[in-house]
Amino acid sequence: MRDALRRPWLTGLLVVSVALGVAVVVAIDMANESASRAFALSTEAVVGKATHQIRGGPNGLDETVYRDLRVIDGYRASAPVVEGYGIAVELGRQTVHVIGVDPFAEAPFRTYFNSTTSAPLDALTGFFTQPGAVLMSADSAARFGVKVGDALTLDVGSQRRQAVVVGFLQSPNEVSGRALEGLWLTDIATAQEFFAMAGRLSRIDLIATASAAEAIAARLPPNLTLAPASEQSNTVAQITAAFQLNLTAFSLLALLVGTFLIYNTVTFSVVQRRQVFGIMRSLGVTGAQIFGLVLMESALLGALGAALGLGLGVLLGRTTVQLVTQTINDLYFNVTVNSIDVTWLTVIKGIALGIGAALLAAVAPAAEATTAPAVATLQRSSLEERVRQLVPRLALAGVLLVAGGAALIAFIQTSVVASFAGLFIGLIGVVLWVPAITVGLMRLAAVGLGRAGLTGRMAARTVTGALSRTAVAIAALMVAVSVTIGVTVMIASFRTTVGHWLDQTLLADIYISPPQATANRSVTMEPALAERIRAVPGVAEVEVYRNVVVDAPALGAVRVSAVTVAHARDAGLYRYAAGTPGETWQAVEGGAVVVTEPFANHHHLPPSGGAVTLLTDQGPHTFPVAAISYDYSSDQGIVLMSLNVYRRYWNDPEISSVAAFVSAGANREMVEDAVRAALAGSVVVVRGNKALRDAALVVFDRTFAITAALRWVAVIVAFIGVVSATMALQLERTRELGVLSAAGMTLAQLWRLTLLETGLMGATAGLLSMPTGLALAAVLIYVINLRSFGWTIFFAPAPEVYLEALALSVAAALLAAVYPMRRLMHASRETTAALRSE
Amino acid sequence: MSQPQTLIRIAHVSKRYQEGDRERVVLADVEAAFGAGEHIAIVGRSGSGKSTLLNLLAGLDLPSAGEIWIGGDCISRFSDRARTLFRRDHIGFIFQFFNLISTLTVRENVVLTAELSGWKPPAARAQTDRLLDAVGLLDRAQTFPDKLSGGEQQRVAIARALCADPPLILADEPTGNLDADTGAQVMGLLTALARERGKTLIVVTHSSEVSALADRIFRLDHGRLLEVAHRHPA
Ligand SMILES: Nc1ncnc2c1ncn2[C@@H]1O[C@H](COP(=O)(O)OP(=O)(O)OP(=O)(O)O)[C@@H](O)[C@H]1O
Ligand SMILES: [Mg+2]
């Protein structure tokens, strides 16, 4: 340890690289954990002690079902629920989950309701009598300065509602307090009014034994389902699993780059102390003790780095939590995260990964330390000799790893974790090729540069001569730059694909929807608005969309998009179709459906001729699949059907959004304004084609913000790696540079030599990273994304990325030479000193 | 009496090091002149300033006062770059610890100095092989230095110092790291090669055997350089 303090720079670099790697992992873990926990807590609060739920179609179920259950069946352990989402305008336009319950039936189900009994009596009285009365969490009320009696505006779909706060939900402890964030409690009648569900319920909660539940299920009408209450929270967890897994994998990639760096640093510290170890050996210290010493040192520094990384990770976590929550809200469902969880598991994971990486990286150098001969001579070249002998064996091992990784990806097709593991293993395999390829490239460079003079030849030779140093730096840089290329190409391809898809799908000129609407959220707009839009002068046609979630007997919750179509879609939109788009639409009008690609992938539908069974209001019905379409709006997948067909099977007159086509010759912007004017008083967003397209891409960019940020972390870590490797190299070479200076090399020549060396290293890394990055992109696009999300992405090669990568590598490497060279400039004294003694 | 033409003039050279608030005088008003083709040995206790003096002559360091003239040039007034360029063409340096470049082969180590002084590659290559032959290591030309014994490494270093054909060879305890027999062989080789080529040779040494080969012997003592022996040409 004392030794570590004597090399503050290297020690610092090691600690920083561990810290950065751990910070990224911790930040991502925190974000995932916080979002999941916030969601689990609120689900728990909402589901309460219910064991089962009775659910109906998109429009809920009839109140009479509940009455019959209680009165005719005499089943008393049941509670009706009407729930929905709205935008609380005064609370920072936060989305709130409104739950309407029957206070008399509630007690056995939800604990938070008990706590309101401690609220003042008049609050409870108000709860029953005042229209629009709601209870909200005391914490969020305090945050927004809401008092009892305050009126709040709630936007539900296209309509504006008035709510009155009549009391606060007080929770007995902090955990359930958090669960109440973003939750409004009201009575059944008020909720029915809010969500236009007069006479209907969202669901009925039950506390029942398995056999009792079965008995109830048997008596239910065919359009209703009875399912265990846990099912809902499980599916919700699965929905985000792929997204969270991807983030975790990318954070581990940053740690992987960090591990190279640690290896580098520990190796350097070992080589520098070979003499010391040699003397220790000659004094009777065993090899095992030296091995232990080196590992111990590395573990201690790793722990220090991990501790710093935890701190940094928590700081970063605030941002990542926000980004992750935003994405989950954009793409999946509502989740409010107001507090960040740093769980023990996260802390332990971070520390274990930090120390683990430090230990793993130290094993090889520690083994090297035990081989220090018991004579006090520094024989760098004998070490290099051994490394050079290892090169073919490493390359062979690399071939095996790449093959193994590829096999893992190819043969275990169902597991995304296995695919990522394959990717990592393959990447490490490629890393093992680095020494061999470096040797080859440097031989070429020596020939090419040799003509230009000795400096060139020497530079190329030094890179191979110090392979144990340079190969690691090149590998670290290569991995980081490949990750950058891979991720950039993946995102660019994805973005191009989505942009192209938006062009094909967004055919209308003006889009009208409630502000809450996203591809994955069911919101309701008054059907009358469609007529009003149609009547606006300049509007030629409208398309009407209804997005709902329905139950499917074998598939769980399924998103259904019911549409009217004014213009045929492009044939390119379909991955498979029975005929032309026109014929497909005809089949759809006749009762067939189109499923999106992720839907087909997730549910393993056959490539053609499949069918989907959905629970309609008339009981289960099987719809033939007429086509499979590309779609990037939902990774869960969507079933598209005709609105006419939908209304035949479901008793649901509502609509979700409207698209308008402007008649030829009309001014699009003026029509847009006219539509806006016609809809005044309704809570809707009117957007032009381009605005909607841009909004979609904003969501896209937000989704990849973390991934995009992570690649820069990898580059930073790699940059530190190159700096430390170059520094190590130059420190070891002080003496050599002294000799060169004594032999008449000018400072300029020494600079050129050093820059040439690091430049060669950077160029090698850059060259290697091009095919590697491309392969990485291909795996991300064709394997990981497809398996995680079910999307076909069309490869967009993004040619500028490769030049950027090369420039980035060379620049990083050149920059890395500056510090050691500046040291050298100040050290002409040191040079003579270095020459005078061994 | 043919007095050789003066190649090196050391004029009132002092070298002081600041150590904390004390000043340490290593060389105090050193005066000397060495003729072209002369072989000089410098002896003295450890710490007397021998290496310091040699570094000043090589232009690796600058005197605190005084001037160093080599040929017609006052190198102590040169810039760092000018001294380097001067060194490249005029001085060959041999170190106690050989200091070969480990990443270059024996041949490349030797050719280095010639290439640095701008020799054409074929000429440099021929010169290298001539010298490697002269030091008896031509068959080891492709080997890397760490495969060689200490004596062999020092022979490579001698070849390297001579390769650019500089008029002045400086050697700092060239036998200090070798056993007596090997040291004598290496020193014999160096002296012979230098005489053959008419080089001026300045050797710092502790060994009386080494100094016995010199034309003149100087002793550094308390910062002064005193001539202690003079062998008249036969
Ligand atoms: N950079 C420096 N800073 C301070 N003192 C120095 C420096 N370089 C040399 N000295 C001192 O100058 C004195 C002469 O050193 P030098 O290396 O020239 O001795 P030397 O005669 O070559 O000794 P040796 O026979 O042991 O090689 C020593 O006392 C040394 O400590
Ligand atoms: Mg000395």
Please report, for the domain that includes residue B156, its CATH number.
3.40.50.300
Residues A185/A133, Cβ–Cβ less than 8 Å: no
What pLDDT, in 10s, does the model give residues A746-767?
878 888 888 888 888 888 988 8
Provide the 10 A C-beta neighbour count for residue A612: 23
Q: Could you tell me the two tokens for B116?
A: 């640095």
Residue with tokens 């009792």: A212
Provide the 10 A C-beta neighbour count for residue A798: 18
Highest-confidence segment of A792-806, A807-821, B40-54, B80-94: B40-54
Q: Which residues of A touch B108 (CB under 8 A)?
A: 454, 457-458, 461
pLDDT value of residue A128:
63
Instruction: Give the pLDDT mean for A602-631.
Output: 88
As beta bridge partners, residue A642 has A563
What pLDDT, in 10s, does the model give residues A505-559?
888 889 888 877 665 567 788 888 889 899 889 889 899 999 888 888 878 888 8
What pLDDT, in 10s, does the model give residues A361-379?
788 778 777 765 544 344 5
Contact between chains at A454 and B111 (C-beta distance less than 8 A): yes
Assess whether pLDDT exceeds 90 at residue B190. Answer: no
Contact between chains at A836 and B51 (C-beta distance less than 8 A): yes
What pLDDT, in 10s, does the model give residues A452-499?
667 777 788 788 877 877 887 788 788 888 888 888 888 888 888 888
DSSP state of A77: S
Assess whether pLDDT exceeds 60 at residue A621. Answer: yes
Of residues B85, B102, B112, nearest to A743 (C-beta) = B112
pLDDT value of residue B6:
84
Whole-angstrom distance, CA of residue A59 vs CA of residue B99: 87
Compute the mean pLDDT over every residue in chain A, rounded to the nearest whole number. 80
Assess whether pLDDT exceeds 80 at residue B24. Answer: yes
Report the separation in Å between the CA atom of B51 and the middle of ligand 1, taken as the mean of its atom positions: 7
What pLDDT, in 10s, does the model give residues A163-212?
998 888 776 655 566 667 778 888 888 999 998 888 889 889 888 888 88
Beta strands per DSSP E along A159-314: 159-169, 183-187, 200-201, 203-206, 225-228
pLDDT band at B234 (very low <50, low <70, confident <90, very high): very low
Of all protein residues, whose CA lies closest to atom 7 belonging to ligand 1? B17
Report the separation in Å between the CA atom of A699 and the middle of ligand 2, taken as the mean of its atom positions: 71
Q: Which residues of B touch A739 (CB under 8 A)?
A: 95, 99-101
Assess whether pLDDT exceeds 80 at residue A568. Answer: no
Of the candidate ranges A113-122, B137-146, B160-169, the one whose mean pLDDT is the lowest? A113-122
Tabulate helix, strand, coil % of chain A (nearest 5).
65, 15, 20
Higher per-residue confidence, A737 vs A646: A646
Of the candidate ranges A169-173, A309-313, A507-511, A594-598, the one whose mean pLDDT is the lowest? A169-173
CA of B44, closest atom in ligand 1: 21
Residue type, B32: A
Residues B26/B223, Cβ–Cβ less than 8 Å: yes
Distance from CA of A268 to the nearest CA of B (A): 17
| Residue B89: closest C-alpha in chain A | A744
| Proportion of chain A above pLDDT 90, given as a percent | 6
Contact between chains at A744 and B88 (C-beta distance less than 8 A): yes
Report the separation in Å between the CA atom of A125 and the middle of ligand 2, taken as the mean of its atom positions: 100
| Longest distance between any two alpha carbons in chain A, whole Å | 106
Q: Which of B48, B218, B225 to mutate to test the pocket of ligand 1 (most atoms within 8 A of CB)?
A: B48
Report the separation in Å between the CA atom of B62 and the middle of ligand 1, taken as the mean of its atom positions: 14
The domain tally of chain B equals 1
Of residues B102, B116, B164, nearest to A380 (C-beta) = B102
pLDDT value of residue B168:
92
Q: Which residues of B touch A (CB under 8 A)?
A: 51, 55, 58, 60-61, 80-81, 84-85, 87-89, 91, 93, 95-97, 99-104, 108, 111-113, 115-117, 144-146, 160, 164, 172
Higher per-residue confidence, B196 vs A178: B196
Of the candidate ranges A16-30, A261-275, B44-58, the one whose mean pLDDT is the lowest? A261-275
Contact between chains at B116 and A747 (C-beta distance less than 8 A): no
Instruction: Give the pLDDT mean for B149-165.
Output: 88
Of all protein residues, whose CA lies closest to atom 25 belonging to ligand 1? B46
pLDDT value of residue B4:
67
Assess whether pLDDT exceeds 80 at residue A241. Answer: no
Q: Which residues of B touch A389 (CB under 8 A)?
A: none
Residue with tokens 């105090």: B28
Q: Which helix (H) or strand (E) holds A315?
A: helix A287-331
Contact between chains at B88 and A742 (C-beta distance less than 8 A): no
User: Which structural domain range is residue B223 located in?
Assistant: 6-230
Of all protein residues, whose CA lies closest to atom 26 belonging to ligand 1? B46
Higher per-residue confidence, B132 vs A729: B132
Q: Could you tell me where the DSSP H helices lie in A681-799?
A: 689-703, 705-742, 747-779, 786-789
CA of B220, closest atom in ligand 1: 21
Q: Which residues of A touch B169 (CB under 8 A)?
A: none
Residue of B17, B50, B99 to mutate when probing chain A, most A C-beta within 10 A: B99
What pLDDT, in 10s, does the model give residues A115-160?
544 454 445 555 667 788 888 888 888 888 888 888 999 988 888 8
Assess whether pLDDT exceeds 60 at residue A56. Answer: yes
pLDDT value of residue A117:
45
What pLDDT, in 10s, does the model give residues B207-222?
888 888 888 999 998 8
Instruction: Give the pLDDT mean for A820-828.
Output: 60
Of all protein residues, whose CA lies closest to atom 24 belonging to ligand 1? B46
Report the separation in Å between the CA atom of A736 and the middle of ligand 2, taken as the mean of its atom positions: 18
Q: Is the dihedral of CA B176, B177, B181, B187 positive or negative?
A: negative
Q: How many beta-carbon pairs below 8 A join chains A and B?
A: 89
Assess whether pLDDT exceeds 70 at residue A826. Answer: no
As beta bridge partners, residue B220 has B44, B225
Residue type, A42: S
pLDDT value of residue B2:
53
| Residue A377: closest C-alpha in chain B | B146
Look at residue B200 and tell me if it is in a domain.
yes
What pLDDT, in 10s, does the model give residues A539-550?
898 999 998 888
Assess whether pLDDT exceeds 70 at residue A832. Answer: no
Of residues B60, B100, B144, nearest to A832 (C-beta) = B60
Residue of B18, B109, B113, B116 to mutate when probing chain A, most A C-beta within 10 A: B116
pLDDT band at A838 (very low <50, low <70, confident <90, very high): very low
DSSP string, A82-138: EEEEEEETTTTTEEEEEEEE-HHHHTTT-HHHHHGGGS-HHHHHHHHHSTTEEEEEH
Q: Which residues of B touch A738 (CB under 8 A)?
A: 99
Q: Could you tell me the two tokens for A439?
A: 């040797």
ipTM of the complex: 0.81
Assess whether pLDDT exceeds 50 at residue B164. Answer: yes
Of all protein residues, whose CA lies closest to atom 16 belonging to ligand 1? B49
pLDDT value of residue A284:
67
Residues A562/A548, Cβ–Cβ less than 8 Å: yes
Look at residue B1 and tell me if it is in a domain.
no
Assess whether pLDDT exceeds 80 at residue B85. Answer: yes
Q: Which residues line ligand 1 (CB under 6 A)?
A: A 829, 836; B 17, 26, 44, 46-52
pLDDT value of residue B173:
86
Distance from CA of A442 to the nearest CA of B (A): 13
Report the separation in Å between the CA atom of B97 and the middle of ligand 2, taken as the mean of its atom positions: 11
Instruction: Give the pLDDT mean for A586-613.
Output: 88
Assess whether pLDDT exceeds 60 at residue A589. Answer: yes
What pLDDT, in 10s, does the model give residues A62-116?
888 888 888 777 777 888 889 888 888 898 888 888 888 887 777 777 765 555 4
Residue type, B18: Q
Distance from CA of B231 to the nearest CA of A (A): 30
pLDDT value of residue A383:
64
pLDDT band at A402 (very low <50, low <70, confident <90, very high): very high
Assess whether pLDDT exceeds 70 at residue A394. Answer: yes
Of all protein residues, whose CA lies closest to atom 17 belonging to ligand 1? B51
Cβ-based burial of A269 (10 A; exposed 0-12, middle 13-18, buried ≥19): buried
| Residue A825: closest C-alpha in chain B | B80
Of all protein residues, whose CA lies closest to atom 9 belonging to ligand 1? B52
Assess whether pLDDT exceeds 90 at residue B17. Answer: no
At residue A232, the 3 state secondary structure works out as helix
Of residues B85, B97, B102, nearest to A465 (C-beta) = B102
Compute the mean pLDDT over every residue in chain B, rounded to the nearest whole number. 86
Q: Where are the domains of chain A?
A: 1-48+231-239+252-378, 49-228, 515-683
Contact between chains at A744 and B115 (C-beta distance less than 8 A): no
Of all protein residues, whose CA lies closest to atom 10 belonging to ligand 1? B17
pLDDT value of residue A377:
41
Contact between chains at B60 and A748 (C-beta distance less than 8 A): no
pLDDT band at A37 (very low <50, low <70, confident <90, very high): confident
Instruction: Give the pLDDT mean for A266-282.
Output: 70
